[in-house]
Chains A and B, each alone.
Chain A
Amino acid sequence: MIYKLQFADLLPYWDVLVRGFVFTIALTFVSTLSGVMVGTLGASARTFGPRWLSALVSAYVELMRNTPFLVQLFFVYFGLPAAGVKLTETQAAFLAMTINLGAYSTEIIRAGIEATPRGVIEAGISLAMTRLQLLRYVILKPAFQKVWPALASQIIIVMLGSSVVSQISAEDLTYAANFIQSRNFRAFESYFVVAFAYLMLAILARAILRALGHRLFPKA
């Protein structure tokens, strides 16, 4: 039996698809910014911070890297209200993605920092740089230069992983597919279109991140 694809059945739901598409982009964009920020702070704290802070950050990293994202999401959405913290599904999705990407990027950026030779840092000190200048120009910039491709991959992974936020009723791309196929029973077509949309998003995000890397952290 040959299945006959009927994409026309999706047309009445184009607005659901567009809204899901925009939501996934926005979710990825904001949580990438905040996640990488958390990662930078985490990596700096873990490498240069006092011992207790370093231990705290590594506990956070281990906790996040060794639990499923879906469980983290459910914890934030269904668990935290018991502690009096009630977040909407959109806030919960942003928070879960930020802490998840934050943990992974902490590890990635830390690897970049540790790859900086000690002599370079000492050279910076001998040039009478302030601590902030040292961190910014001598430590972080070369670190990002080295790990940018790894960080970009992680951002794409988190973007694709964001598909599970539909489980807590956040209306992203996957939600759109689930919703449409629950209405017209065209599962194949719905997921086909959404898979293609994710593919395009991933290719686009990779291109943007590469261009951004070249611009922000040019190879000397």
Chain B
Amino acid sequence: MIRRRIFQAMFASAVALCAFSGQASAEALDDILAAKVIRIAVPTDYPPFGSIGADMQPQGLDIDMARLIGKELGVRTELVAVSSANRIPYLQSKKVDLVISTLGKNPDREKVIDFSGAYAPFFMGVFGVKSATVTKPEELSGKTVGATRGALEEQELSKIAPADVTIKRYEDNNATVAAYISGQVDIFASGNAVAAVIAERNAARAPDLKFIIKNSPCFIGLNKDEPKLLAKVNEIIAKARASGESEKMSQTWLKAPLPPGF
């Protein structure tokens, strides 16, 4: 008899616990609005998306996006610095409400978290000096292109470039950048973040995007089954796009307009 009563009590409390946690996850947006604070995971080791500025404060495109979301929701933004390895665990363990950390979409990630619409461009492309007239892989014919050996964009470029393109394969990203800045190559393949950093530090040889090799825009990550939060975040992104705020962020941090079709 006593045994049975203990079992009933345990069962009841288990049910109550489930109901409680279920409620908490379904109302993330309400929780945020009630607490008047949104916790957002951002990078601090990946300029120009997120880095620590001279004033010791985080800065970058992801940081601006995070602050914009806080502002639109009318709550305080609490930035949480994460690395690219732990950003999804931070979200899953509910230490943060959103992840804004150059997160790309792939099927494995889509199994565990939800994604908003794209908020910033992120791509591998071929960049070069303004005078180089190249708009597609075929037009690289006879030209010399620098790339980092073994990097995704180098492997893709090796596949799509015509046979008479000379691909100079450097040991690492820094050597590729040095080769471009020193004028050893006028065209190179890299990510848009790298091109932005070059433009920032070396305006005289600011690289122009010639064409995109592989597109993998950034999405905001959030926990599954948060329809209200997802809808709100998407609304904010759409509004930023329409008002020119996204374009401004791209110009400020990526030193380039949003690519066509973004």
Contacts and interface: CB of A to CB of B under 8 A. Distances in A.
Interface of A: 74, 77-79, 81-82, 86, 89, 166-169, 175, 178-179, 182-183
B171 interface: yes
Contact of B179 (A78, A82, A166, A183): A78
A17 to B, nearest CB: 15
A81 B182 CA distance: 6
A86 B175 contact: no
A179 B155 CA distance: 10
Contacts of A78: 178-179, 182, 184
Interface of B: 146, 149-150, 154-155, 168-171, 175, 178-179, 182-184
Contact of B149 (A81, A86, A182): A182
B170 A169 contact: yes
B168 A89 contact: yes
Given A169-B170, A179-B169, A82 B182 contact: yes
A81 B170 contact: no
Nearest to A175: B169
Contacts of A166: 171
Nearest to A170: B168
Contacts of B183: 81, 86
15 contacts: A74-B178, A78-B178, A78-B182, A81-B184, A89-B184, A167-B175, A168-B175, A169-B146, A169-B169, A169-B170, A169-B179, A175-B169, A178-B149, A182-B149, A183-B150
B169 to A, nearest CB: 6
A81 B169 CA distance: 19
B182 A182 contact: no
A91 to B, nearest CB: 11
A22 B154 CA distance: 24
A104 to B, nearest CB: 25
Given A178-B149, A182-B150, A77 B171 contact: no
Contacts of A89: 168, 184
Contacts of A79: 182
A152 to B, nearest CB: 30
Contacts of A168: 170, 175, 179
Given A178-B149, A179-B149, A182-B149, A169 B168 contact: yes
Nearest to A77: B184
Given A167-B170, A169-B169, A86 B184 contact: yes
A170 to B, nearest CB: 9
A109 B145 CA distance: 43
A169 B171 CA distance: 7
